[in-house]
Amino acid sequence: MQVRRWIGIAAAIGIAGLASVAVTGSGRAEPDTSAAGKAVSTYNRWEWFKDTYWIVPQRGIYSVAHLLDDNTFGVIKGQTVFHITDYFNGYWTGAVVVKITRALVPSCQFVLGQVTPEGRVFMTMYDADDGSVVNYPIGTMVRKRGEWTMVNEMTNVTQGGDTLSHWAYMVQAKPGDRRWNNLPFARQSVPEFMSSCPEGPQINLRGGLGDHPIFGRP
């Protein structure tokens, strides 16, 4: 397998798991026990996503690639880290960094995710530089050994016709954890792994996107 080819594939992919409150006139947040409040609580079930980090554990570092030129399949290794930077109503955004092969050349991406109250996940990955869509991973939130995991999977087709397929039980990493300081495969800390890429975006809650002809403010 050619290392440069894998680096090229990495640059084109993203690899792949509460009570509501109401604000009173005084500006204080109080529990909302109404039916509407319960519905809001359902939409906010996953609001704890915000400012969490998700990494690929050791058993999930393997992907299978297909090279179009010689019609061959091969196993490669890599690491992916999500930093979820914002959450609203079942939608979330974040930064994604992918590194495959020992060269550890980063692929920097942004993610817009959707998660239903039942834990079904759909994502759109964007190139962090130009905003172009990279791919559309899917996932499911699954309890494993008492902890939430995000079981993500995807197959991506590059411009050259090569593909890379990957799935993993992505797990949380927190400061002080063993995995936080020594990521599987990468052997870097989470901050070091993420340092080459921009921070994740926030969701604009003001309504509309400036003067955009379709999504601009009314």
Determine contact, residues 121/94, Cβ cutoff 8 Å: no
Residue 208 pLDDT grade (very low, low, confident, very high; cuts 50, 70, 90): low
Predicted pLDDT of residue 93: 99
Residue 54 pLDDT grade (very low, low, confident, very high; cuts 50, 70, 90): very high
Instruction: Quick: pLDDT tens for 68-96.
Output: 999 999 999 999 999 999 999 999 999 99
Predicted pLDDT of residue 9: 54
Least confident of 16-30, 135-149, 161-175: 16-30
Place of tokens 């921070």: 199
Determine contact, residues 29/40, Cβ cutoff 8 Å: no
Task: Judge whether residue 10 has pLDDT over 80.
Answer: no
Mean pLDDT of all residues in 41-54:
95
* Among 8-12, 15-19, 38-42, 205-209, the range of highest mean pLDDT: 205-209
3-class state of residue 172 by DSSP: strand
Domain boundaries, the chain: 3-17+51-194
80, amino acid identity = T
**Tokens in use for 51?**
């400012």
Task: Judge whether residue 29 has pLDDT over 90.
Answer: no
Task: Judge whether residue 2 has pLDDT over 70.
Answer: no
Determine contact, residues 78/98, Cβ cutoff 8 Å: yes
Taking the C-alpha atoms of 176, 152, 72 and 58 in order, what is their torsion angle to the nearest 10 degrees? 20
DSSP string of 75-133, one letter each residue = EEEEEEEEEEEEEETTEEEEEEEEEETTTTEEEEEEEEEEE-TT-EEEEEEEETTT--E
Place of tokens 């309504």: 207
Predicted pLDDT of residue 218: 55
Predicted pLDDT of residue 154: 95
| Domain spanning 3-17+51-194, CATH architecture | Beta Barrel (2.40)
Give φ, ψ of 206 to 5 degrees: -80, -15
Of residues 213 and 198, more confidently modeled = 198
Predicted pLDDT of residue 8: 57
Of residues 34 and 132, more confidently modeled = 132
User: For residue 92, what are the contacts with CB-CB under 8 A and spacing of at least 6?
Assistant: 46, 49, 50, 84, 86, 111, 112, 113, 114, 115
Rg (CA), the chain: 19
Determine contact, residues 150/121, Cβ cutoff 8 Å: yes
Entry pTM: 0.81
DSSP conformation class of 198: P
